[in-house]
């Protein structure tokens, strides 16, 4: 039976407006609107056209409604720069990804969520407490994605088409989800993961009031910097007035970008304003603003590898696509950059 919510989901995940779908499918805008609000159901021919335009099998429209992810539940970076269509597209894809993880959870025993909620603390203290609670000491985090996954966070990928969106996160039925843009550098991806962890730890209990978005983003950045580069350890590394060579050695040690490390040193009063500006200019001239020369490799997912490639009854992208009434490339998008799958 046709489910109007599934039509909307299929349209939104491709970032298409009703007008655009009407143009592509040859179905009137009025009819499309009626289909989506449930006033009428499409005839077979129109359903086929919609399936073709929206790149899903017809059976996709007959599945149960997936609860959409309200914008208010999501910590979006660069919210103001994101168009409504883009935002709806990534949220629709995220809703499908949660469905994917739901199916995975029905077949596999996965780590249970173990995240502290520290919304009363300043970000730096929250980061330190989270490290302590997880027994991380003040050593570099060897692998952010694995760490999150081991604490019950489901990590998925954002469609690389949406380069403007770095990352976002939300809770769904008590399970934390983090979506990363895996087209970014590994260092950037790690910082994004720590930033989203900051939102989950600091802002889980809050409604995402758009007017406070900027403050939340700043807090999540402060959390990420403190979590990845703990103050006590950085202060023990002779970084006062550090040279570029030393900054580069330290960024490799902490597995962060040179720019993030430089900013951290300035934040900790180890670089003066002048030293900070000079270091930023030098790094920028050497290409460290837009990329990370000599950087580390991107972090893959351990959870998805075990699920999709484990010897113990693996669950492939094709299996997942079949169960979700999607195509394999759709599933591949959820895990792009996290496990090697054919696009």
Partner 1 sequence: MSNIFTISPAETPDGEERLNEFGLSTTLFHTALTPGVSRARGRTALALRTTPGNDIYHNTMEELALMLAPQGWQPVDVDGQPRLLHPDGMMSFTLASATNVAHPDTRKTPRTRGKGPATRNSLAAHVAHDLALFDLPDSPKKSVLVAAANSSSLWMLLHERTPTGLNLEFAQPSAMTPGGTVIAWADSIAIRPLELDGDLSVFDDPDGSDDFDVPVARL
Binding site for partner 1 (CB under 8 A): 106-111, 139-140, 142-143, 146-147, 149-150, 235-243, 245-246, 249-250, 252-253, 268-270, 272, 302-303, 306-307, 310, 312-313
Nearer CB in complex with partner 1: 13/190? 190
CA 341 to chain centre: 18
Instruction: Report in angstroms how near the CB of residue 235 gets to partner 1 at its nearest.
Output: 4
Which spans in 134-257 are helix H? 144-150, 186-202, 213-228, 231-235, 244-254
Nearer CB in complex with partner 1: 70/241? 241
CA neighbours within 13 Å on the CB side: how many for 278? 10
Instruction: Report in angstroms how near the CB of residue 25 gets to partner 1 at its nearest.
Output: 41
Instruction: Report in angstroms how near the CB of residue 274 gets to partner 1 at its nearest.
Output: 12
As a whole number of angstroms, the distance between CA 157 and CA 189 comes to 11
Nearer CB in complex with partner 1: 126/247? 247
As a whole number of angstroms, the distance between CA 159 and CA 163 comes to 8
Burial class (CB in 10 A: 0-12, 13-18, 19+), 46: middle
249, 146, 300, 229 alpha-carbon torsion, rounded to 10°: -20
Residues in the chain: 343
Instruction: Report in angstroms how near the CB of residue 255 gets to partner 1 at its nearest.
Output: 10
Nearer CB in complex with partner 1: 2/134? 134
Report CA-CA distances (Å) from 237 to 247, 250, 251: 11, 9, 12
User: What phi and psi values does residue 168 have, to the nearest 5 degrees?
Assistant: -160, 170
Nearer CB in complex with partner 1: 81/107? 107
| Beta partners for residue 172, in sequence order | 175
| Beta partners for residue 156, in sequence order | 179
Nearer CB in complex with partner 1: 239/332? 239
Instruction: Report in angstroms how near the CB of residue 8 gets to partner 1 at its nearest.
Output: 32
Of 197, 302, 295, give the one whose Cα is nearest residue 254. 295
Instruction: Report in angstroms how near the CB of residue 244 gets to partner 1 at its nearest.
Output: 10
Instruction: Report in angstroms how near the CB of residue 303 gets to partner 1 at its nearest.
Output: 5
Nearer CB in complex with partner 1: 86/252? 252
């Amino acid at each position: 039976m046709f489910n109007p919510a599934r039509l909307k989901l299929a349209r939104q995940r491709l970032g298409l407006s009703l007008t655009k779908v009407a143009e592509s499918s040859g179905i009137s805008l009025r009819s499309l609107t009626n289909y989506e609000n449930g006033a009428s159901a499409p005839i077979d021919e129109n359903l086929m056209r919609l399936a073709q335009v929206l790149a899903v099998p017809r059976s996709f429209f007959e599945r149960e409604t997936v609860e959409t992810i309200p914008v208010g539940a999501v910590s979006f970076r660069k919210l103001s720069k994101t168009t409504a269509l883009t935002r709806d597209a990534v949220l629709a894809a995220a809703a499908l990804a949660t469905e994917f993880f739901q199916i995975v959870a029905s077949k596999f025993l996965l780590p249970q969520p173990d995240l502290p909620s520290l919304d009363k603390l300043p970000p730096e203290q929250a980061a330190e407490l989270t490290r302590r609670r997880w027994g991380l000491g003040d050593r570099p985090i060897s692998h952010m994605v694995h760490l999150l996954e081991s604490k019950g966070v489901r990590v998925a990928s954002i469609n690389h088409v949406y380069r403007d969106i770095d990352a976002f996160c939300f809770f769904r039925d008590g399970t934390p989800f983090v979506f990363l843009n895996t087209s970014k550098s590994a260092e950037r991806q790690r910082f994004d993961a720590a930033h989203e962890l900051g939102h989950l730890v600091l802002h889980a209990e809050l409604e995402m009031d758009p007017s406070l978005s900027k403050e939340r983003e700043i807090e999540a950045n402060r959390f990420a910097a403190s979590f990845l580069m703990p103050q006590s350890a950085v202060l023990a590394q002779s970084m006062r007035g550090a040279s570029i060579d030393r900054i580069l050695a330290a960024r490799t040690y902490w597995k962060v970008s040179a720019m993030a490390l430089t900013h951290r040193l300035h934040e900790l009063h180890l670089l003066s304003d002048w030293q900070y500006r000079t270091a930023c200019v030098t790094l920028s001239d050497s290409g460290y603003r837009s990329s990370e020369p000599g950087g580390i490799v991107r972090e893959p997912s351990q959870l998805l590898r075990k699920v999709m490639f484990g010897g113990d009854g693996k669950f492939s992208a094709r299996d997942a696509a079949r169960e979700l009434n999607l195509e394999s490339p759709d599933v591949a998008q959820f895990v792009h950059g996290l496990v090697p799958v054919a696009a």
